[in-house]
Structure 1
Amino acid sequence: MRRSRFAKAIESSSAAPERVSISQSLWFDLTSPERIEDEVVAEWRSAGLNHAPALLFATHLLLLFAYFGIHPAPWGTSAATTALIPAGLALLLDAVAIVGIWLRSRTEIAAHSVIRLLFGYLAISGALWLLFASLTAQSGEVALAFGLVGAGLAATGVVSVNSPPLAIANALVACGAAFMFADTFAGGARMAGFSILLVIYSIAGARTSIVIERRRQQLDNEARKATRFVDEFENSGQGWFWETNAEGTLSYVSQQLADDFQCQPSDLLGRQFTDLMSVDNEDREERKTLGFHLSARFPFSDVVVRAASDQDIHWSLSGNPIFDERGRFLGFRGIGTDLTEQRRSEQEITRLARFDSLTGLPNRAMMRQTLEEALKNAARRQKGCALFLIDLDRFKNVNDTLGHPVGDALLRQVAQRLTSVMGDHGQIGRLGGDEFKAVLPGTVDLGLLESLARTLIEQVSRPYMIEGHKVTIGASVGVAIGDPGRTGADALVRNADLALYAAKGDGRGKHKIYEPSMHSEASDRQVLENDLRQALDRDELWVAYQPVVHASTEQVCGFEALVRWNHPVRGPISPAKFIPLAEECGMIPKIGKFVLQAALKEAAAWPDHVRIAVNLSPIQFNDPGIAEMVGTLLKESGVRSQRLELELTEGVFLSEGALTDETFAKLKEVGVRLALDDFGTGYSSLGYLKKAPFDKIKIDQSFVRGAASKTNRNSAIIRAIVTLAETLGMDTTAEGVETHDDLNLIRELGCSQIQGYIFGKPMPGEDARALANLSVVEADGYQTSREPRQRLMRRAIAQIGHRKVEIRLRNISSGGALVDSDAAVAPGTSLTVDIVGVGPVVGEVRWAQKGKFGLEFAEQFDLSRLAPKKEQKNETSILRPWYVEQKVGT
C-alpha cells in the first residue's frame, strides 16, 4: 500500500512523532486535554462526527419507510402500533442531536463534552432501535426485526468507527442485539466478536489519527511561526523575499519590493526578475554579474543593483537555486535588502562632515577649506579676499531665558538673513554657537565691504517672532582683507577676530575693519579684564550717588547709584569702558549685587522719603532668583521696599515671554518701584509701557540736553513723553539737565523730577548723606548751553563785493563762526566762504564791527570736517591693498 505524502512528511521530519498508548487512544475523546495542542486535535476529531446524527436519522427514516412497505397500516394491530413508539423516539432523538450539532458552532462546548453526549446519544438511540426491533419481532416479523437491527447497527458502526468510545457504545448495543435475536449462541458470539473487532480497529485508527494530527498540528505551528517570521522580517523594512520559476519569471515577491514600484505584488508576478533592475552605465557591471549567476544557476550574495524606478533606489540581492529530489531546476529563491537609506545615511554623514546640521550652512571645516581655496585663487588672479567674522549680540540671553529650542529656531532665521544679505558676494558659514563666518573672494572694495557689514547688522537686528515670542538681538562684525599671495588663512582669521573684538568693545552692533593697532588694543583689553576680575576683592570698585530733585520744589527726592572703578595704575576708568567688559566676561551679576548691597546700606542712613535708584542689567533681570535676592538685601538693610527703585532698560524685553512677565510680577510682590531707563532710544517703548508695571519713565539725556534750542524738536518729544506718562499714572525724570534754559523748559513741560549736573554730579556716600538732609538744592550751571567750538583759526576766501578777500575764521561751531576781515561788510549780507582744505560754506552776516563780523551758517556745519586727516602709513597695505591702486593691464 502506497503511503501518502503526509505520512512521508512525518517520517522525513526531524522531530519523531509521539507514540500514543492504547489507553490514551481509548479515552482520548472522552477526557479533557492536558495540552493546548491536544485541544486542537480533539476539536478536529469531534468535527469528523458532525454528520453522525444526520446519517443515523436518514438510516432510521429509510428503515421506517421499509417497515411501512411491509406493513402499510401497522396501527391496525396493537403490537405493531406499540413498536412505532420507540422508532419515533429514535427519530426524535436523531433530530435533537442534529439541532445540537448545528447549535454547537454558536456555543463553546468542549470537544470531549460533545463526544460524551454522542456516546450517550448512540447508546440511547441504539437501545430505542433494539426496542423497536424487539416489538417488531414479537408481532411475528422476526426476519424484518433482524434486518432492522442489522441495518441500524451497520449505520452506527460506520458512524462510530472513528471514535473508540462510540465504537464501544455501538459494540454494547450490538452485543445486546446478538444475544436477543441470534438463533444460537455461536451466532450471537460471532456478532459480538465482530463488534469487538470494530472497537479494536477504531482504537488502532485513533492511535494513528492522533499521532498524525499531533504531527500535523506541530507542522502547522512551525509553518505559522515561519510565516510570522517572514511577515515580521518584511514589515521591519530590513529586507524582502523573492522567488522565480525555472524560466526566471517572478512567482513570489514581498510587499516592500512592490512598494518600490508603487504597485501590488500581483502586478509583478510573471515578469522577468532582471526587468526590475536598471540598465544605467553605473550599474551595468553589477547587473552583468547578477545575470551570470542567474543563467549559471549559481548562488550569489550581496550583489548591489539599482532598481528600474523613477526614484533612486538601490538593492543588495542574495539568492540560491532551487532543485527538486530529482535534480530538476525549479528557479531561484532569495532575499533583498534596500540600501537606499544606507546610501542616504552615508551621504548625510558626508554632508554633516561639511555642513552645519542646524542651519544647513557650511561648517567650520568647510569654511576653512573655502577660505584656503579663495586665498590660493587670489594668489593666481592677483585679486584679494575679504573675511567677515560675525558674532550675535545677546544671543546667550535668549538661550538662557527661552530655552535652546527657541535659540535653535533663532539661529536658523539668522542664517537665512545672512545668506540673503551676502547673496553672490560670498559664502556664509556657521562656526558654532552664535558665530558665523563669510568668505568674500575677490572683494576688496572698502565701500562695498562696509555697506555689506552695515546691511548685515541692520538685517540681523530686526525683531524675530519665534513660538509666540518677540526676540531682538544684534550683531557685531569684524572685517579683514587679505593680500593675494601674502596673507595666510590663519593670519586673516586672527585679524578678523581682532576686528570683531574691537567692534564688540566699541559698544556692539557695529563693524570694524582690521587695523594693526588692534593687536595692542586686544592685549590691553585682556589685561583690563583680568584686573576687573580682581577689582571687587581689592576694593577698587565703589558707588557714587547722583541726586534726583523734584522739579517744582528743588528738594532732593532720591539718588541714583552709579558704580565707579579706581584702577591702582590707570586711575579712574570710565563705566562706558568697563561695564561692557563686565557683561562680556560674566562679572555683571557679581558687580550688580555689590552695587545694590552698598546702595541699600547707604540709603539706610538717609531720611525715609529719599529713594535710592539702582540699575538692573538684562542679565540680572533674567536671573530667576533676582526677586528673592532683592528681597533678602532689603531685609538685611532695613530699607523700605518702596524706597528702592530698580531702573531697567529695554534690553530686558529682547526675549519677551512668560519668564519676563513672571519676573515683573515677583519684583512687584517684593514692593519695589520700577523705572524704564533711556526711554525713547529703543524700538518699541510704547509696547513695553502697555505690558510692564513701570512706576517711572526716565527721559534719555539725548532729548534733554539742548532742548531749549530752537534748532531741534526735543521739546515736542519731551512734551509727548510727559503727557503719556501722566496718562499712565507714571512719574517722569529728565536726565542730563545742565543749563538753566533747559531746566526752565523741563519745568514748563511738566516733568516730575530732574537729574543732571545742574543739581550735582555723582558724589561719594558721605556727600550724598549731607545733601539728602538739605531741604532744597540750588541749581548751579550755565544759563544756556554752548555748542562745541573749534578754536583753531582757519584761513578762507570770501567774495565780498566785487573782489575776493582772504579772511580768517575763529571759534567755529556748527552754527557759525567769528570772522576776522579787513574788508567792510554789512549785516544781512549773504556770503560764500571757501575754507582752505574744507570747501565752501554758505552763511549770513549777523553783526559787523571794524575788522570782524559774526557769520551764521545757513546749514548745520560738521565740525569733523575741520579735523586733520590721518596719515595712512601702516594701514595702507591692509585697508587699501597695493593691487587696488593698479590699473588694468599694468
Structure 2
Amino acid sequence: MSLKGLLSSRNGSASRREPPAVAPRPLAPPATSALTDGERLAMLDELEQSGLGWFWASDARGNLTYLSGAIAKRLDLPLADLLGQPLTAIFAAADREGRGKSLPLMLGAHKAFTGLAVRAARKPEGAVLRLSGQPIATAEGAFAGFRGTGVDITEEYTREEETARLARYDSLTGLSNRHRMAHHIDATLTAFRAARRNCAVMMIDLDRFKHVNDTLGHAAGDELLKQVAARLTRAIDRDCEIGRLGGDEFQVMLPDIDDRGVLGELAAKVIAMLRQPYSLEEGRCVIGASVGIAIAPHDGVTRDEIVRAADLALYAAKNGGRAQYRFFSGELENETIFRRRLEQDLGTALREEQLFLRFEPIVAAAAGTVCGLETHVCWNHETRGVIDEHEFAQIVEGSALLGDVGRWAIAAACQRAAGWPDSVRVAASVPVALFLADDFVTLVSEAVDAAGIAPARLTLAISEAVFFGEASVVDRTLAALFKLGVRLTLDEFGSGYSSLSYLRRAPFDAIKIDQKLVAEAERQDGTELGLVRAIVALAGALQMDTVAGGIESASLLAALQACGVHYLQGPIFSEPVDTDTLAREMAGGAWRIEPGTSRMRRARRRTLLRKIQVIHDDYAYMVTLRNLSKTGALIQGLADVPRGTQFVVDLGGGQLAVATVMRSSGDVQGLEFEQSLIEDGSGGLCTRNRVSPYALAAAGTPLAALAPGKFLGMDQGGAVPKFGYAKPARTEPA
C-alpha cells in the first residue's frame, strides 16, 4: 500500500473512539486543514526522506503492508522483499540478552506500544530502529492491523549499550567486572541450591605485578593485565565465568564441579600458564599467580560464604610461598593464626639456636661420589617438635626474618663444611631479600673466614627472582661474589622465568635445572627430556656445570646421565641426612653412593597432632592423628587394635577415607588408605571428593557448609565399642 492509499483509507473510515489500551482505535475523519491532500502527501514524503519520521503499517495477520523506502534503505534490504512478510520475521529485538519488550507479544496484544528497539532479523549487526505502533479497526470495530512510525536510534543505542557494557564488564580486559561476577555467582548459587548442584569459585591474585607497574610503568601493567586475561580464557577450557575484580585480582566461577583432583589440575595449569614470560613494548617480564579455591555447598551455600572461603584459601596460598593453589578448609583460620604464631616464634628460634641443618648429597655423575651437600633448614620447636625443611620453608617464606634465617644458614653451613674433606662443597640457597641487602657480600666473606674454608667450597644458589631487583645492585653484588671466589649456581632454571640475559650478566658456575622439569623428563613424548638436553648443551657452551635434583627412578637417572648432566640429587641416592649420619658416612673418606630403587621417596608425612574421628562398626572413636601422607596415616589413642581392622577416617569437612590397619603397636596404629589423598597445592593433603551437604540435608540436617572438625553424626544408640582407649596417651611427635 502507498502512503496515499494509507491516507485514503484513513479518510474513508468511520469514527469510533476507544481507549488505546483497551481496543484498537477506529479510523477517524481528518481534522479540517488548509492543506490539500496532495500537499499533505508531499509534506509526509519530505518527512520520510529527511529521516525525521518513517512509517509502517501491517494488516490484521501481522504482515507488512507499508514501509517507508527510507527505512528499507537504512536496513540495507530491498523494499519489495519486505512487503507482505510477517513483521515478526522482518524485525528482531535489538537487545541480545532479551531484557527488552517482545515484538510478537506487542503485536499479539493488539495494543498500542512505543519505544520498541529492533534490528532487521537478517542483519543482526545492522541499524537499530525504535518502533511505535497504534492498532486500527474497521468501521465494524474489527481489528485491522497496525500503523506506526520508526526512528533510527543506532548511535543512541550503541552509546547506551556501551554504557551498560561498562557497567557489567571490565573496560580493560573485557572480562566480567566485580558487580557482574557478584550478581552471576548470587544467581547461580540460588538456582543450584534448588537443583542440588555444585559450583566452584577460584580467586586468583598475581604475584610481582606491582613490580612490573613500578619498573615498566602503568601502560605496561595494563597491557600485562590484558595478556593475563587472554591466557586465563585459554587455560580454563570449560564452562565458566571469568572476571577481573580490580587491580591484579581475578575470579572464576566453575559450575557443576566438586572434584578437587580436577580443580587442582586446572589451578596448576593456570599457574603454569600465567608464569610464562610476557612480551611488552616496554620490555620482557615474568610474574606468577596464587589461587584459592572454594566449592559450594561444601564450603558455603551463599555468595558471601563462598567468596570469603576462596579468599582465605588464596591468603593461605600466598602465605605458603606463592605460585601455589590452595583449597579452603574449615581449619584455615586456625592454621593462619598458628602460622603467624610460628612466624613470631622465629626470633626465639634464632636466639636460642632451635634451628638446625640437614644435608642432601650432591653426587658427581661420572664418579658416583658425593662432591657437595645442599643445606636444608629445619626447626626443633619447643612445643611443636621437629618442623621439617618443607614446612619450615613455607613458614619462613613470608616472614620478615627470612633474611636473618638466610644469614644464619650460610654461617652454619660454612662451619659444618670446615669438618668435611676439602673436596666436598656446601651449597646454600640465598633468599632474594638477603641477596639485595647492602651487607650481603660482607656477610658471606665473614662466614667463609670464620669457618676457615676456601671460598670456592661455598656454593650460593641464587633464584632468577633476584634479577627483578635494581640492575646496578644485582650486577655489583654478583661481581663482588665472583671476586670473593665463591661458586654461584642459577637455581630453578627452566621454571618459566629463565632468560639467557641472566647467564650473560652473571658469572655462574652451574645451572640447576628446575625440579618440575626434571620430574616430567620421563614422559613418552620426550619434550621435557629434550629441554633438559638443550639446557645441558647451553651450559656446556657457556662452560657451566649442570645440576638435576629430585631423581627417584633408575630410568630417569639413566636418561639424565645420557643427557650429560654433571651433578645429581634425589631420593634414589639419599634423603637429606642429619649431622650424625653425615659424620658416619664421611668417616672413611670419600662418600660413595650407589643409586638404588630401595631409596624411593616415601610419601612425605606431615606432623599434625590433632583430634579426629575414626569409625568402626558404626561406632565413632576420637583419636589423635599424629601424621598424614598421601597413602596413609598414624593414629594414636586406641588399645588392642589388630592388623587388618578397617576404619573410616573422618578428616573433617566431609572428608572420609577408608583405611586398613597395617601395623599396630600399643596405642599407635599405622593406616593405609584405600584411595590415596591428593595434594592441596601447597604441601597439604585432602580427599578428592567429600560427602555432599545435600546428602546430609536429605537426612534432615540443615543445609550449610560442613564444619571443619567432626561432622559425621553417628547414631550410637545400641552400638557397642569394640576397642578401648589407651591411657595415658602419648602426645610427642612421631
Bigger proportion of residues as strand: 2
Taking structure 2 as the reference length, the TM-score comes to 0.48
Larger Rg: 1
Taking structure 1 as the reference length, the TM-score comes to 0.41
Bigger proportion of residues as helix: 1
